[in-house]
Amino acid sequence: MASPRLRKAARTDARFLGDMLVETYNWTPSRSITRIDALADPAVARYVEGWNRPGDAGTVAIDDAGSPIGACWYRMFPEHAPGSGFIAPGVPELTLGVAGVWRAQGIGRELLRAVVAQARRQGHSRLSLHVDRANFASKLYLAEGFVPVIRGDSSDVMVRILR
C-alpha cells in the first residue's frame, strides 16, 4: 500500500471533517458515539460548523483511490466561547482524526506535521489541543513537541510552540 497523499483542506471537506471529528470522540472501542449525537452537541459541532471561515486551515490525507482517510485542522475560538483546548485568544485549536482502519500507520503524524507547518506559515506562534491522557494520540502529541499546560483529572490541554 502506497503512502497517502496530503492536500489542503477545502470548503468541500466540511462533511469529512465532521466524520473525523466523530473519530476523535470514538478513539477507543468502548465508545461509539454516532455522528448525529456528536454533532447535535454544540460544543462538538463548533469544530466543523461553517468550516473554512477566515482563520481555519487544515490538511486532508487521501488514499490511492483519492478517498479521504484522515484530517487535521485548526480553528480560532473567542475567549467568550472557548473550545475545550482554548488557552488564549489568537491561538488556534487543533483537531486530528484518522479513520479507524488507517490508524497506527503514521498518517496522524504526517497530518500533524503538515498542519504545524501551515500554522507556522500563517504566522501563528502556538497551537493548542485537548486530549484524553489514555488516548494513544496523547503520546503522538508529546513526541511532536506539545506539552501539557492544563491538567484535568483524565485529560490535558496541550500547547506546541511554533518556531
Share of the chain above pLDDT 70, in %: 95
- Please identify which residue in the block is written with the cell numbers 481555519: 56
State how beta strands 57-62 and 5-8 pair: antiparallel
**What does the pLDDT look like over 62-106, one tens digit per residue?**
998 889 999 999 999 989 988 889 999 999 999 999 987 788 888
Of 89, 7, 18, nearest to 47 (Cα)? 18
What the block records as the C-alpha cell of 67 is: 478517498
Domain 5-161 falls under CATH 3.40.50.2300 = no
C-alpha cell at 111: 497530518
Q: Domain limits of the chain? A: 5-161
Return mean pLDDT, the chain. Answer: 89
Query: What is the arithmetic mean of pLDDT over 48-56?
Result: 89
Give Cβ neighbours of residue 54 (< 8 Å, ≥ 6 apart): none
Per-residue pLDDT, 1: 47
